[in-house]
Amino acid sequence: MAASHHHVRHWSRRSALGLIACVPLGLASIAQAAECIDPASLSAAQKSMRKSLGFRTSNDATKRCGLCAFFTAAQPGCGKCALLSGGIVPAEGVCDSWAKKS
């Protein structure tokens, strides 16, 4: 009979406070992403292209626009996407056509 090992995380007050302290950083990142472009200012064709590519903002640090081969940095936190005909996107965005920069 094999022994079962269960790892139980015990939260201390310090670890909980550390986690809570990180929340504003994530919210600031999302707010910065929203400043790149006003979605209401996009044309119907641009909105359609973003929808077809599954474009969205995300906290996925591994496949974000800033690390994509189709992304060219512009202003801090924002850039242009070749798939979106040079459309402005937040560096924290993601889509279904992400390709790793070489």
pLDDT tens digits for 38-92? Answer: 888 888 999 999 999 999 988 888 999 999 999 999 989 999 999 988 789 999 9
3-class SS at 81? Answer: strand
Q: Report yes or no: 58 and 100 within 8 Å, Cβ to Cβ.
A: no
CA dist 72 and 78 (Å) reads 9
The helix (H) or strand (E) run that includes residue 64 is none
Residues 6+ apart with CB under 8 A from 86: 80
Query: How far is 1 from 59, CA to CA, in rounded Å?
Result: 42
Task: Please tell me the pTM assigned to this model.
Answer: 0.62
